[in-house]
Structure 1
Amino acid sequence: MNENKNSGDKKNNTFKKVLYYVIGIIAILLFVYTVLYAVSLYSKNLPKGSFSIIEAVILVIFGILVIKLIQNLFVKIVHNYLSEDKLGLLKFLFNVTAYFILFLLIFSSLGIDVTNILLGATFLGIVFGLASQTILSNLLSGFAILFAKPFKIGDRITIVTWQWGLLMSTYQHETMKPGYTGVIKDINILFTTIREDSGFIMKAPNNILMQSMITNYANTNKRLVRIRFELDKTIDFKTFKEEFNNYLLTQVLIEKTPLPTIRIVDLSLTSYFVAVEAFTPSIFEDPVRDLVLSYVLKVVAKKQSETVNKPPAEADKVNSLIATDNNNKLKEKEGKK
C-alpha cells in the first residue's frame, strides 16, 4: 500500500515539475515577443542596424535559456527509462538540432540569407537519410517506444513478428505463440535488450519491435495456462476429474475464479487425452505445468502399482491349477518307474 502511495506521489511530483517547465518556457517566449515588439516600436529612433543587433542579442540570451529549459524538461520525462550514456547521446542530438535552429534565427535577424544554408542542410539530410535509412528507422522507433511505453525495463514480454520465424510446437504441447519471450533489460534509441527465458541476451532493433505484436505480462494479474496429457483407459476419468479438481482448488498457484476446467479432448484405442485449463496469478506457466504433470505422474504410478500387485484373474487361477495337476501326474509316473 505504501509502495503504491509513494509511486503515486513520485508521478504527481514529476507531473508538477513538467508543468512548471512548460509554463516557464511559455512565459519566456511571451516575454521575448513583448520585448522585441517594444523595441520595434522605437526602432526608427535607433541607429541603422541597431534593431537587428538587439534582436540577435535577445535571441542568443533567451534562446539558450529556452534550450536549457526544454532539455531539462526532456530529461525529466525520459531519465527513468534510459541509462546515463544513452541519455547523454540524446542530449547531444537535441543540442545539435536546437542550436542549429537558433543560429538560423540569429542569422535571419541580422539580415543574412539562410536559404543557401537550408538548401545545403536539406541536401545533406537527404543523402544521410538514404545512406542510413535503417538506422533512422531504429532511431525514430526508439523515440516512439520511449514515449508510447508499450513496455518498460523489468517487464516480461513475448514478441511475435514475421521477420523472425519460429517453428510451432507440436504434441505434447498445445499450439503456442511463435514468439520470443524474455525480460526487458535496457531500452535505448536503437536497440532494446531482452534476456530470454533461455538465459541468452537478445538485442532487438526498435523498428522490428514497432512492427511486432507484443504481449506484456506485467499488465495483467493472471494468465491462462493450458496443459494436455495422455491417460490410460483403465483410469476412470470421472474419479480422476473429481479428485484432480479438488487438488487444484487447494493450490496457491491456481485461481479460484474462474474455476479450472478438466475435459477429454481426444481418444485412442488404449488411452484418452485430457486438457486442463486454469488461470494463475504467476506470469510464468512452467510452475503450473509442473504442478499438473507431477500430480498426473503420481496417478499413473499408483495405477501401475495396483496393476502389478493385483491378484490373478480366474482364468489365471484355472491355468495355475491345471499346471499343478500336470506336474503331480508326472511325479507319480516317475515314482512308479
Structure 2
Amino acid sequence: MLNLQIKWKRQVVKLLSMIVVLAIIAVLLHFLIEFASSNFPVIVPYLNDIYLATDAAIVGIGGYFIIGILKRIINVYLLGKMEASTARTLSFFIDIALYSILILVILAALGVNLTGAAIGGAVGGIAIGLAAQTVLSNVLSGALVTGSKTLKAGDAVLLISWIWGSPIIGETTKVGVLFTEVKTINGNIVKVPNSAFLGNTVFTKLEGENSLVYPLQITVNADVPADKVMEKAKNYIKDELSKQKIPYPEIYFTNKTGGTNVFTVILHFDNLNMLNSLLSVVNNAFDKAYWDTKNEVSKT
C-alpha cells in the first residue's frame, strides 16, 4: 500500500511539473515570436496564426506526455487491480477517451469553432451510445467487479434473478470483459453478463467461516403439523449424513403462508460438488417426513 502511495505521489508531481514546464515554454515562445515580429515585420500579418500553431504544438506534445502520466496513475490505482483481459479492454477505452480529448483541445488551440461539431457529434454520439450501451455497461461492470475484488475465479456463488428464473449455483471460472463464466453444480458452463451483477441479480457468495454455506428453503403442505414434519425430517437427514460424515445442517420452521409451511435448511459443506447430493438428501427427507406424518394423521 505504501509503495502504491509513493508511486502515485511521484506521478502527480510529474504531472504538475509538466504543466508548469509547458506554461513556461508557452510564455517564452510567445515572447520570442513577439521579438521576432519586431525585427521581421513581414511576419506581422501572420502573427495570430503563428501564435495558434505554436499553442497547438505545445498542447499536442505536452498533452501526449500528460496522457502517459495519467495512464500510469490509472494503472497504479485501477487497472493494476483488475483481471488482465478486463484491464486491457478498459485501457483501450481510456486511451480512446484521453486522445479524443487531446484532439479536441488541439483543435480549440488552433481556433477551430467546436460548437457546430459538438451539435453534429451529439446526434451521432447518442446513436452510438445507445448501440454501445449494453457493451459498455458490461465492460464497466466487469471492471468494478474485478477491481473491487467482489468476485474472482474459484468463488462459489449463488445468482438469483427474474431474468433467467431458476437460481444459478456454481463456481466462478473466469471474470471476463463482458461475461463472467460460472461452472454450475450440474457441470455446464453459464456465461452471465457482467451488468447483471450490478443490476437485476441478487449475488451471494457461498462462503461461511469454516465452510461453504447454502440456504435451502423447503415448502410443504400445511395439512399436517409442521413440528412433526420437521422432527422426522431432522432424524432422516441425520441418519443419512452421519453415514457420509457430513456436518449436520441447521433446520428452522421459518414461515407459514396460506396452505404451506416453509422450512429453511442451512447446509454446510467443503466442496461445491457435494451440494447436489445434499439437496437430494434434504428434499427426500422432507418428502418422506411429510407422507409419513400424513399417514399417521389419517389413521388417528
> TM-score surpassing 0.5?
yes
CA drift at 1:226: 7.1
Residue in 2 aligned with 1:199?
Answer: 187
Cα separation, partners in 2 of 1:184 and 1:262, compared to 1, 3 Å: closer
CA drift at 1:125: 0.9
2:205 to 208, 216, 233: 216
Cα separation, partners in 2 of 1:288 and 1:142, compared to 1, 3 Å: closer
1:184 matched to 2:185? The reply is: no
Q: Give the whole-Å Cα distance in 2 for the aligned partners of 1:130 and 1:205.
A: 17
- One-letter identity of the residue aligned with 1:114: L
- One-letter identity of the residue aligned with 2:189: I
- One-letter identity of the residue aligned with 1:182: G
How much identity, in percent, do the aligned residues show?
22
Q: Give the whole-Å Cα distance in 2 for the aligned partners of 1:162 and 1:263.
A: 26
Contact 1:157 1:216 in 2 (8 A): yes
Q: Give the whole-Å Cα distance in 2 for the aligned partners of 1:205 and 1:288.
A: 25
Q: Give the whole-Å Cα distance in 1 for the aligned partners of 2:174 and 2:159.
A: 15
Higher-Rg structure is: 1
- One-letter identity of the residue aligned with 2:17: A
Say which is worse superposed, 120-129 or 65-74, in terms of deviation.
65-74
Q: TM-score normalized by structure 1?
A: 0.56
Q: Give the whole-Å Cα distance in 1 for the aligned partners of 2:143 and 2:251.
A: 46
- One-letter identity of the residue aligned with 2:173: K
Return the structure number with greater relative CO, CA threshold 8 A, min gap 6.
2
Cα separation, partners in 2 of 1:180 and 1:288, compared to 1, 3 Å: closer
Q: Give the whole-Å Cα distance in 2 for the aligned partners of 1:31 and 1:224.
A: 60
- One-letter identity of the residue aligned with 2:70: I
Cα separation, partners in 2 of 1:46 and 1:215, compared to 1, 3 Å: farther
RMSD of equivalent CA atoms: 4.4
- One-letter identity of the residue aligned with 2:202: M
Give the 5 Å matches for 1:224-263.
none
Instruction: Give the secondary-structure state (helix, strand or coil) at the position aligned to 1:121.
Output: helix
The answer for unaligned runs of 5 or more in structure 2 is 38-46, 219-230, 255-262, 286-300
Instruction: Give the secondary-structure state (helix, strand or coil) at the position aligned to 1:214.
Output: strand
1:25 to 15, 37, 40: 15
Residue in 2 aligned with 1:139?
Answer: 139
CA drift at 1:225: 6.5
The structure with the greater share of residues assigned to helix is 2
- One-letter identity of the residue aligned with 1:57: A
Give the 5 Å matches for 1:1-337.
11-36=1-26, 44-45=34-35, 47=37, 48=47, 49-76=49-76, 77-79=78-80, 81-84=82-85, 86-166=86-166, 179-211=167-199, 212-218=201-207, 221-222=210-211, 223=213, 280=268, 282=270, 284=272, 286=274
Instruction: Give the secondary-structure state (helix, strand or coil) at the position aligned to 1:111.
Output: coil
Cα separation, partners in 2 of 1:277 and 1:181, compared to 1, 3 Å: closer
CA drift at 1:163: 0.9
Contact 2:170 2:183 in 1 (8 A): yes
Contact 2:87 2:143 in 1 (8 A): no
The answer for unaligned runs of 5 or more in structure 1 is 1-10, 167-178, 229-236, 255-259, 266-274, 298-337
- One-letter identity of the residue aligned with 1:67: I
Instruction: Give the secondary-structure state (helix, strand or coil) at the position aligned to 1:183.
Output: strand
Q: Give the whole-Å Cα distance in 1 for the aligned partners of 2:64 and 2:164.
A: 46
Cα separation, partners in 2 of 1:253 and 1:285, compared to 1, 3 Å: farther
